[in-house]
Amino acid sequence: MRNILRLSLTLVVVGVVSAALLTGMYNLTTPIIAERKEAEYRESLNCCFPDFDTFETVEIEEDKFDLLYDENGDLIGIMATAVQQGYDGDITYNLAFDGEGKIIDIIIISHTETPGVGEVITTDDFQQQFMGKSYEDPLTAGEDVDTVSGATISTSSMIGSIRRVTGVVAENFLGVESEEIDINSVPDGVYNGSAPGAGGPITVEVEISGGEITRIDILEQNETPTYYIESYPVIPEQIIANQNLDVDTKTGATISAEGIINAVRDALSGALEDGS
Amino acid sequence: MKSDNVYLGDLTRGIVKENPVFRLVLGMCPTLAVTVFIVNGFGMGLATTAVLIASNLVISLFRKFIPSEVRIPCFIVIIATFVTIIEMVLQAFQPVLYEALGVFVPLIVVNCIILGRAEAFASKKPVLRSLADGVGVGIGFIVALVILSTVREILGQGTILGPDPASAIHLFGANFEPMALFAQPSGAFIALGLLMGLVNVIFKRFNI
């Protein structure tokens, strides 16, 4: 009996002393390790944004975004980390945007696509077609970017994912969609605005009267006629009915419809800037 | 004078006569796995030696308090504590080496050199002799790893003091195609076998 006590006591003492030592050591080294990890992370951000001063990390659902600011606190770029289901497993990649939401780099961190086939997503040929594009571009296969034949699933899933991430960036960090325009604060008057559609710029004339949008006319457009009739006059009517820009765009004519909405937004924000 | 000789004997025995790698063939896993570059071999040897010295010291200090029935679990906990400390220190101050050694840092816990010295020496002998033994065996392990990794790095990579480009010296010029075999564990076996043979020949020649 006495022997058993002695044995257990020895083990307890050894365990407790060891645990205490390790706790102390852990508290000592953890901040240093964390600091080093952050320094390494900053180093990795340097590849695309050599001039950044500070950064903050934001997570939106599955995606992670690093917002990079220069010394004056201006947003100079965004590094997105996203995961996309490819042909064979997850593709993890970085998408680097400049301060205006234009894509400046794509870095595939890890993927398990078929060597020599789906692997083209890592090539310059495939990635180069995204450079300089932003939320204002359709980023749609067959329109402004192309899939690679033989690797359609890998490349089209990448295109879709890049379009989605670009949209999330524009919406959350560049204030593109979320910028709520308070129509009540727009002074009465007639304003012009324009935004890109599918066939070139769409120019609109918006009349504000008594804090409400009363009239939207299209001054200039060069959209495909069959698509255009899908969005005009439907979209302006909805905007006037709802008195806000949050209206459903028509499938099949998304770009034309969004062009009209963005042109109205441009007119109103221009009016607000002149007024203030 | 005689006591000096005891310590000196404890110190040198581990380096030459009972070299853990070339003579006792202990600790083969890290020996074969990490000796791709001299830096890695030296780092592994140093980390193991630090754990060995510390565990020899502590186990020898408390050898009278640890009942023999539970000595093995006590030794393992003591060794594991030091290994974990070394692991944290490496991660904090030598992250490149930490990444290179990978899983073999935590595996120092089960390096049979350390438990072997604890069981065969430190648990029976006084503190200073155990310390000398730890230092000696540690140096022997470092020397063996450095020799083996030098051979492997020259043959398998064509460099010395790589992989850091700042210190790497390319021995054979740009057109040299290194023998990739020696960068693999199988090449490590071959290199170790040849070195062991060489060591045996030398020892026989000088009657060690």
B202: which 2 tokens?
């030398």
The confidence band for A276, taking pLDDT boundaries of 50, 70 and 90, is: very low
Chosen from B72, B77, B94, B99 to mutate, greatest number of chain A CBs within 10 A: B77
DSSP, collapsed to helix, strand or coil, labels residue A168 as: helix
Is the model's pLDDT at A96 over the cut of 70? yes
Q: Do B92 and A10 touch (CB under 8 A)?
A: no
Give residue A145's pLDDT.
Answer: 87
Across the range B200-207, mean pLDDT stands at 89
On average, the pLDDT of chain B sits at: 89
Would you report the helix, strand and coil content of chain B in percent, each value rounded to 5? 75, 0, 25
User: Does position A252 have pLDDT exceeding 80, yes or no?
Assistant: no
Q: Left if phi > 0, otherwise alpha if psi is -120 to 50, otherwise beta: which for A56?
A: beta
Instruction: Report the pLDDT averaged over residues A213-238.
Output: 82
Closest CB to A6 among B67, B78, B91: B67
| Rounded distance between C-alpha atoms, residue A5 and residue A118, angstroms | 65
Q: Which residues fall within 8 angstroms of residue B100, CB to CB, at 6 or more apart?
A: B34, B37, B39, B40, B43
Identify the band that residue A127 occupies on the pLDDT scale cut at 50, 70 and 90: very high
How confident is the model over B58-79, as a mean pLDDT? Answer: 91
- Going by pLDDT thresholds of 50, 70 and 90, the confidence category of residue B128 is very high
Could B92 and A22 be called an inter-chain contact, meaning their C-beta atoms sit closer than 8 Å?
A: no
- ipTM for the predicted complex comes to 0.78
* Of B66, B77, B93, Cβ closest to residue A18: B77
CA–CA separation, B178 vs B172, rounded Å?
9
Predicted TM-score (pTM) of this structure = 0.62
| Cis preceding-peptide flag for B163 (omega within 30 of 0) | yes
For the stretch B129-139, pLDDT in tens is 999 999 999 99
Q: How confident is the model at residue A178, as a pLDDT?
A: 47
- B181 band by pLDDT with thresholds 50, 70 and 90: confident
CA distance readout (Å), B29 to A4, B142, B187: 37, 14, 14
Please report which confidence band the pLDDT of residue A1 belongs to, taking 50, 70 and 90 as the band edges: low
- Chain A: give the shortest CA distance to residue B204, in Å: 45
pLDDT tens-digit map of A177-214: 545 667 777 788 888 888 777 667 788 998 888 888 88
The answer to whether residues B154 and B171 touch, using CB atoms and an 8 Å cutoff, is: yes
Q: Which residues of B193-208 are buried (b: 16+ CB within 10 A; e: fewer)?
A: eebbeebeeeeeeeee
Q: Which residues of B touch A3 (CB under 8 A)?
A: 67
Residue recorded with tokens 């790095």? B153
Query: Is residue B1's pLDDT more than 70?
Result: no
Distance of alpha carbon A268 from alpha carbon A187, whole angstroms? 10
pLDDT at residue A225 is higher than 90: no
In Å, how far is B141's CA from the nearest CA of chain A? 26
Mean confidence (pLDDT) of chain A? 83
The per-residue pLDDT for range A97-122, each reduced to its tens digit, is 988 889 999 988 888 888 778 888 98
Looking at residue A46, the DSSP 8-state letter turns out to be T
